Amino acid sequence: MSGAPKLDLTQPGPATASRGGVPRHIAIIMDGNRRWAEARGLPVPLGHKAGAEAARRTTEACVQQGVGWLTLFAFSSENWLRPAEEVVALTGLLRLYLRSEVATLVKEGVRLRVIGDRARFGEETMKEIARAEAATAGGTRLNLTVALSYGGRAEILAAAKAVARAVQEGRLDPAELDEAAFARHLYTEGMPDPDLIIRTSGEQRLSNFLLWQAAYAEFVFQDVLWPDFSAEHLEAAIRDFGRRERRYGARTG
């Protein structure tokens, strides 16, 4: 649905209890750019710039940790309601990131994918996104997904409409619809669900992020503001994850 290249992967189903290790898929709600800037008496756009640098560090750290999938919540559908100058700064930073980071992503074997309503960013940015996705399509070390103009409820609603059209057009028998079939209509088609969701800045909520996909994710909330997020914070979250027993609703013993 997002227009991104399709990935030839299957959804892993939660079947048995499992314990820790390195998460296959980490998703991060990157929160705290504004507060970081305000605490230093800096313009808010500089907070977002520092946040982009933290995203770069985190991507590198995930490669080093052997994480296969990283999803970053960069711009929500609700962020369009922010002051116009902040939105302009954010979208400009996005285009700069896409232009400046592609060569590094290719070199490091990182495949970039963007999910969300990319059309809201305009034709120029859409072209930049498509070029970046195409240039990094051969990456095999890390699948980096960036959620832009993304909202979990809107994603589920769009999937429901797609299912309804398929039924109306005779391409889908409603009796054959199950969770796996429904998930194929989500932006995250072909991606494994997140094992671990990290939120920075001390807030403890999902904020409309990956609502369907987060059904059995583990959560780690950290007080650090996103621009200060480091490889050490990532390692701490992974260690926390590794101590947990994941039962997926089943009983053990």
- Residue 155 has a pLDDT of 97
CB distance 123 to 48 below 8 Å: no
Q: What is the pLDDT of residues 116-126, one digit of tens each?
A: 998 888 898 89
Amino acid at site 227: P
CA 107 to chain CA centroid, nearest Å: 21
- What confidence score (pLDDT) does residue 146 get? 95
Angle CA 56–3–165, to nearest 5 = 140
pLDDT value of position 177 = 96
0.85 surpassed by pTM:
yes
d(CA 98, CA 107) in angstroms, rounded, equals 15
**DSSP-assigned letter for residue 45:** H
Please give the pLDDT value at position 252. 56
pLDDT at 194: 98
Q: Give the pLDDT score at 116.
A: 94
Closest CA to 194 of 75, 22, 69, 79: 69
CA distance 30 to 145: 13
Per residue of the chain (253 residues), give pLDDT as tens. Answer: 333 333 333 333 443 334 458 999 999 999 999 999 999 999 999 999 999 999 999 999 999 999 999 999 988 888 787 788 878 878 888 888 888 889 999 999 999 999 999 888 889 889 999 999 999 999 999 999 999 999 999 999 999 999 999 999 999 999 999 999 999 999 999 999 999 999 999 999 999 999 999 999 999 999 999 999 999 999 999 999 999 988 776 655 5
Structural contact between residues 191 and 69, judged by C-beta atoms closer than 8 angstroms? yes
Distance CA 191, CA 10 (A): 7
**Residue 88: predicted pLDDT:** 81
Which residues does 252 contact at the CB level (< 8 Å), separation at least 6?
Answer: 17, 245
| Ramachandran bin of 190, using left for φ above 0, alpha for ψ from -120 to 50, beta for the remaining angles | left
pLDDT for res 250: 66
Residue 19 contacts residue 29 (beta carbons within 8 Å): no
3-class secondary structure, 121: helix
Structure confidence at residue 98 (pLDDT): 85
Enzyme catalytic residues: 31, 79
The string of DSSP letters for 148-194 reads EEE-HHHHHHHHHHHHHHHHHTTS--GGG--HHHHHTTSTTTTPPPP
